[in-house]
Amino acid sequence: MSQTRTRSTFPPPVMEARRWLDGVVFPNDRSLINVSQAAPVDPPPLSMRQAIAEFTVAEDSAHLYGPVLGNDDLRAELAAQISDHYAGQVLPDQIAITSGCNQAFSAVISALTDEGDEVILPTPWYFNHKMWLDMAGVRAVDLPTGDDLLPDPEAARALITEKTRAISLVTPNNPGGVEYPAELVSAFYDLAREVGIRLLVDETYRDFDSRSGPPHDLFQKPGWDETLVHLYSFSKAYRLTGHRVGAVATSASLLAEAEKFLDTVAICPGQIGQFAALWGMQNLSQWLAGERDEILDRRAAIAEGMPQLEAKGWRLLGLGAYFAYLEHPFDLPSDELAQRLVPEAGILLLPGTMFMPDHDPAGKRQVRIAFANLDRAGIAQLFDRLQALSF
């Protein structure tokens, strides 16, 4: 069989990790602790589910095609809320609704790049971004980060070639958890604008940022939409993972190009998911604030528990949003460690090798913990098991 771009792309990491569970039996006193995926396991709040049910029954439009770039009411509401959150000005025609944030990224990359073009990704990278670039025939240029997991704009400048079309950032970061300082994001924006490329900023986890006020000032800059491509997801905020609702904010002209991709792949985002996202934005602000408080408390529990792991040689590299990114102390690569943790410790996590290029050995020392579905007791149990490890 011939080698295609899809065939040469690595398998979906979360699905690969799930296969490590096959045939493993976990004793009653050591059930599986699954910290492999950053997706809420609980359904949306009951009030939203009731509203969805009523909409599904009462509205014929719930089951029909809609506009390719999303419903006007949701685009307008998101534009208003982004404007308020970032103290900027965003118009409805600068918004597109997509079938999840991964599709938003894919549509934008398809609109911006040609075969053999380049996009700069800080490492550790979000693996689905790397996967799509590979499948699209676009070269992912890795930008290594230091111990603080923050990328350096000047290091990025050195990687820019005539083939570079964009730099892609994720903040709060997946997998590292770190929140990029406003000045750093602004420096990347200035670089992208100077050299005439796009800056993609994926803020899927913006609702769980520990900072108050605008996390950056990019939406306040004149002509922001000619440089910035802002990506967002409703999945984490309102537990709508199965409904696949994401968004892009950028220039109307770029969205017109992305529309070609969106129409071809999905025709339009689903009506029920769009209704739920709009209903959530209009009715669940207080509930979402409580969700943020809970995530921040779990983040605090990770920080409080780290000294016991540090005593065993572990090191915390990044913490925030749904993630803790750690360096392990063992003399074996993280992909082997992660697989052994399943039967030997009842822990399913992802190794750093899934977030790094093969030529970078740092990934073999790193692991990602997605802690959003663990309460304080679960985090304490996880840390007890990690502390007891010996390899």
User: In angstroms, how far is CA 213 from the centroid of its own chain?
Assistant: 21
Q: What is the pLDDT of residue 390?
A: 86
Q: Report d(CA 161, CA 28) in Å as an integer.
A: 56
For the chain, domains (ranges, CATH) are 13-43+287-387 (3.90.1150.10), 64-283 (3.40.640.10)
pLDDT(29) > 90:
no
pLDDT(301) > 80:
yes
First-to-final CA distance of the chain: 40
| Average pLDDT of the residues in 301-305 | 96
pLDDT(377) > 70:
yes
Q: Which of 129, 173, 128 is nearest to 151 (CA)?
A: 173
Q: What is the pLDDT of residue 379?
A: 96
Q: Which of 136, 67, 147, 78 is nearest to 102 (CA)?
A: 136
If DSSP states are collapsed to H, E and C, what string results for the chain? CCCCCCCCCCCCHHHHHHHHHCCCCCCCCCCCEECCCCCCCCCCCHHHHHHHHHHHHHCHHHHCCCCCCCCHHHHHHHHHHHHHHHCCCCCHHHEEEECCHHHHHHHHHHHHCCCCCEEEEEECCCHHHHHHHHHCCCEEEEEECCCCCCCCHHHHHCCCCCCEEEEEEECCCCCCCCCCCHHHHHHHHHHHHHHCCEEEEECCCHHHCCCCCCCCCHHHCCCHHHCEEEEEECHHHHCCHHHCCEEEECCHHHHHHHHHHHHHHCCCCCHHHHHHHHHHHHHCHHHHHHHHHHHHHHHHHHHHHHHHHHCCCCEEEEEECCEEEEECCCCCCHHHHHHHHHHHHCEECEEHHHHCCCCCHHHHHEEEEECCCCCHHHHHHHHHHHHCCCC
The fraction of the chain above a pLDDT of 70, given in percent, is 100
pLDDT(2) > 80:
no
pLDDT(313) > 80:
yes
Q: What is the pLDDT of residue 236?
A: 92
Angle at 255 between CA 250 and CA 257, to 5 degrees: 135
pLDDT higher for 23 or 215?
Answer: 215
Q: What is the pLDDT of residue 188?
A: 98
Tallying the residues shown for the chain, one arrives at: 391
| Average pLDDT of the residues in 121-137 | 96
Q: What is the pLDDT of residue 10?
A: 87
Q: Which of 148, 174, 160 is nearest to 117 (CA)?
A: 160
pLDDT(165) > 80:
yes
| Average pLDDT of the residues in 240-254 | 96
At 1, the pLDDT band (50, 70, 90 cuts) reads low
Pair 279, 285: CB distance under 8 Å: no
Angle at 15 between CA 9 and CA 18, to 5 degrees: 145
Q: Provide the mean pLDDT of the chain.
A: 95
Pair 111, 254: CB distance under 8 Å: yes
Q: What is the pLDDT of residue 116?
A: 95
Q: Which of 39-43, 216-220, 257-261, 351-355 has the lowest mean pLDDT?
A: 39-43
Q: What is the pLDDT of residue 14?
A: 87
The token pair that represents 254 in the structure block: 């770029």
CB-based contacts of 128, cutoff 8 Å, min separation 6:
12, 102, 105
Radius of gyration of the chain (CA): 21
Residue with tokens 């964009």: 166
Q: What is the pTM of this model?
A: 0.94
Which tens digits make up the pLDDT trace of 254-277? Answer: 999 999 999 999 999 999 999 999
Please state whether the peptide bond connecting residue 172 to the residue before it is cis, i.e. omega within 30 degrees of 0.
Answer: yes
Which tens digits make up the pLDDT trace of 72-91? Answer: 999 999 999 999 999 999 99
